[in-house]
Amino acid sequence: MPAGTRAVLDGPEIDRALTRIAHEVLERTKGGHEVTLLGVPSRGVPLAQRLARRIERVEDIAVPAGSLDITMYRDDLRLAPARALGRTEVPESGLDDRVVVLVDDVLFSGRTVRAALDALGDLGRPRAVQLAVLVDRGHRELPIRADYVGKNLPTSLRENVDVRLSETDDQDAVLLGPSRSRTGTTGTGEEH
């Protein structure tokens, strides 16, 4: 771990947060029968898949999960180096008239969520859109709020939130440390 970095969530705490979020989704959507989970690459995708498995264990229903690439909808394309396009995978059930829960790792400025909403509008017409994030670190630049939060983590703009998941990083942890750039990005290099 780099100097000045500390773990704020470990694997079991991430598991408990996701289990709580799954129960909250089921409670708010009255059983989850019309829910579709869409993860925002990269770490939102495995989080969406984990939530889908938890919901299935609790309710014994399969909740469709997919991914929503937002690359071409970002408002910083002209400012950032070229990015590889990710995958958008819409479940077979589609998005029309469904409750779509966007899933991401960190909520920061709100710009990623705005881009996800724009991308979603090109794919279908959900009945409702909700947002689930593992970490809400504050510092919103847009009027966006998560419906489901694993951990509220007040941060300084000089701090970096690095989410690591076993599917992408061989470990589950949320680390807080000194920022590696002036924009306060996450460890993935993406501003949230």
User: Each residue of 51-89: pLDDT tens digit?
Assistant: 999 999 999 999 999 999 999 998 876 666 666 777 899
What is the distance between the alpha carbons of residues 14 and 20, in angstroms, rounded to a whole number?
10
Average pLDDT in the 36-47 region? 97
Q: Exposure of 85 by Cβ count < 10 A (0-12 exposed, 13-18 middle, 19+ buried)?
A: exposed
Q: What structural domains does the chain harbor?
A: 10-157 (3.40.50.2020)
Phi and psi torsions of 7, nearest 5°: -80, 130
For residue 104 the two structure tokens come to: 């991401």
**Is 159's pLDDT higher than 90?**
yes
What is the distance between the alpha carbons of residues 123 and 121, in angstroms, rounded to a whole number?
5
Among 23, 100, 21, 99, which residue's Cα sits nearest to residue 59? Answer: 23
- Give the percent of the chain with pLDDT over 90: 82
Confidence (pTM) = 0.90
**pLDDT tens figures, 84-128:** 777 899 999 999 999 999 999 999 999 999 999 999 999 999 999
